Amino acid sequence: MKTVGYAAHSPTSGLEPYEFSRRELRGNDVAIEILYSGICHSDLHTVHGDWGEQPYPLIPGHEIIGKVIDVGPEVKKYKVGDSVGVGCMVDSCQTCDQCHNHEEQYCREGMTATYGSEDRITGEITQGGYSKHIVAREEFVLKISDKLDISKAAPILCAGITTYSPLKTWNVKKGTRVGVIGLGGLGHMAVKLASAMGAEVTVISRSTDKEKEAKAIGGKAILSSRDESALEAAASSFDLIIDTVPVKHDFDTYTPLLDIDGTHVIVGQVGEMDEPVTAPLIMGRRRIAGSLIGGIKETQEVLDFCAEHNIHPDCEVIKPEQINEAWDKLQKENPSHRYVIDMTNLKVS
């Protein structure tokens, strides 16, 4: 299938229109016309080569919402016209313990990422959601409820699941004391999801400037990570801290904020960090942990949770020709909303 997308041709080229083909449908494939595609901070890191060399031309995007336009003969769950999503993965081995456990993101053979990965059958490079169409096997396609606004739902597929999964892993429920570091694309979803689960959520930020924003989305309080006396007063007051900061930072400011058995979970890949001071970890059986997106079953769960609780990411919808501008802004600021590209007017020539 001939289609069009926005591709980077090198780490520094920026993104430009690029015509390419999607594969012929395999038996279990779903062909999707993409309507909306979220911009994730990791798109920038990946394309810029921050996490290793990339195959170019590369079309990023792993927060994809669209409509089914065709299905292979073995597809059971989807039919033409259905609203669907594709997130960060498009395939995995499907046979290892992690895949059987619905944790395809930890597949022992490595998951196939939505873009920049080798297709498990042909070896061709997968291309992402900044495009008009995508083809994916049905096991990696998600159902999108009618209750969701499709122009705002795309970021649930990465920002949503990335923050939902640790909230579930660490059993967040009514009354759990959750701190969220950073109020960007991930952080604002963490606040919305945790507060919908009944948690007492505090935003931890470099200042209290975003207090109004934090409270508007369900936060109970805001704590400045530069206010020594406020930090001291907040000692041992969190069960879980979700750390969404996308750049290098230290752990030591936050560890004393955890109560006994508290966990500090890193969800943004930031590369090397300074070594943490170990005493506060030992003294309170506190943990530093990591978490990567979530499995397909859990991704469906967060989509349905958002539909049920009327949770939408805060989105600014842009046109495809504004992608480079949006990337610039994302790099300079850490806006507390997601950019979503409206693909509906993108035409294949």
d(CA 228, CA 71) in angstroms, rounded, equals: 58
The secondary structure of residue 107, as a DSSP letter, is -
The residue within the footprint of Zn ion, chosen from 93, 221, 288, 292 (CB under 5 A), is 93
Alpha helices in 172-322 (DSSP H): 185-196, 211-216, 228-233, 279-283, 296-309
User: Reading across the β-sheet that carries 238-243, which strands appear in turn?
Assistant: 221-224, 200-205, 177-181, 238-243, 258-266, 287-290
Write down the least CB distance from residue 22 to Zn ion, Å. Answer: 21
Is residue 42 at the binding interface for Zn ion, with CB under 5 A as the rule? Answer: yes
Is residue 191 at the binding interface for Zn ion, with CB under 5 A as the rule? Answer: no
The residue within the footprint of Zn ion, chosen from 25, 44, 96, 292 (CB under 5 A), is 96
User: What x/- string results for residues 258 through 287 when contact with Zn ion is judged by CB under 5 A?
Assistant: ------------------------------
Tell how strand 258-266 and strand 287-290 pair up.
parallel
Judged by beta carbon, residue 35 or residue 64, the one nearer Zn ion is 64
Beta bridge partners of 5: 18, 131
Write down the least CB distance from residue 211 to Zn ion, Å. Answer: 27
- Helix then strand count (H, E) for the chain reads 10, 17
Judged by beta carbon, residue 51 or residue 261, the one nearer Zn ion is 51
d(CA 17, CA 3) in angstroms, rounded, equals: 11
Stretch that binds Zn ion, among 19-27, 94-102, 211-219, 297-305 (CB under 5 A): 94-102
Write down the least CB distance from residue 97 to Zn ion, Å. Answer: 8
DSSP, collapsed to helix, strand or coil, labels residue 79 as coil
Judged by beta carbon, residue 42 or residue 202, the one nearer Zn ion is 42
Stretch that binds Zn ion, among 19-27, 97-105, 256-264, 323-331 (CB under 5 A): 97-105
Stretch that binds Zn ion, among 35-43, 126-134, 209-217, 276-284 (CB under 5 A): 35-43
Say what the alpha-carbon torsion angle 31, 37, 41, 45 is, to the nearest 10 degrees. 50
DSSP, collapsed to helix, strand or coil, labels residue 77 as coil
Write down the least CB distance from residue 138 to Zn ion, Å. Answer: 17
Classify residue 221 by burial, with Cβ atoms within 10 Å: 0-12, 13-18, 19+.
middle
The secondary structure of residue 275, as a DSSP letter, is P
Q: Answer whether the bond into residue 57 is a cis peptide, omega within 30°.
A: yes
Contacts (CB under 5 A) with Zn ion, residues 192-221:
none
The residue within the footprint of Zn ion, chosen from 40, 193, 240, 257 (CB under 5 A), is 40
User: What x/- string results for residues 102 through 121 when contact with Zn ion is judged by CB under 5 A?
Assistant: -----x--------------
Judged by beta carbon, residue 93 or residue 281, the one nearer Zn ion is 93
Alpha helices in the chain (DSSP H): 41-47, 97-100, 150-153, 159-169, 185-196, 211-216, 228-233, 279-283, 296-309, 323-332
Write down the least CB distance from residue 327 to Zn ion, Å. Answer: 14
Is residue 278 within 8 Å of residue 242, measured between CB atoms?
no
Write down the least CB distance from residue 259 to Zn ion, Å. Answer: 30
User: What x/- string results for residues 73 through 92 when contact with Zn ion is judged by CB under 5 A?
Assistant: -------------------x
Stretch that binds Zn ion, among 152-160, 204-212, 244-252, 322-330 (CB under 5 A): 152-160
Tell how strand 221-224 and strand 133-137 pair up.
unpaired
The residue within the footprint of Zn ion, chosen from 68, 75, 158, 242 (CB under 5 A), is 158
Write down the least CB distance from residue 251 to Zn ion, Å. Answer: 23
Judged by beta carbon, residue 42 or residue 83, the one nearer Zn ion is 42
Phi/psi at 327 (5° precision): -60, -40
Write down the least CB distance from residue 124 to Zn ion, Å. Answer: 20
The residue within the footprint of Zn ion, chosen from 99, 161, 190, 311 (CB under 5 A), is 99
**Interface residues toward Zn ion, by CB under 5 A:** 40, 42, 92-93, 96, 99, 107, 158
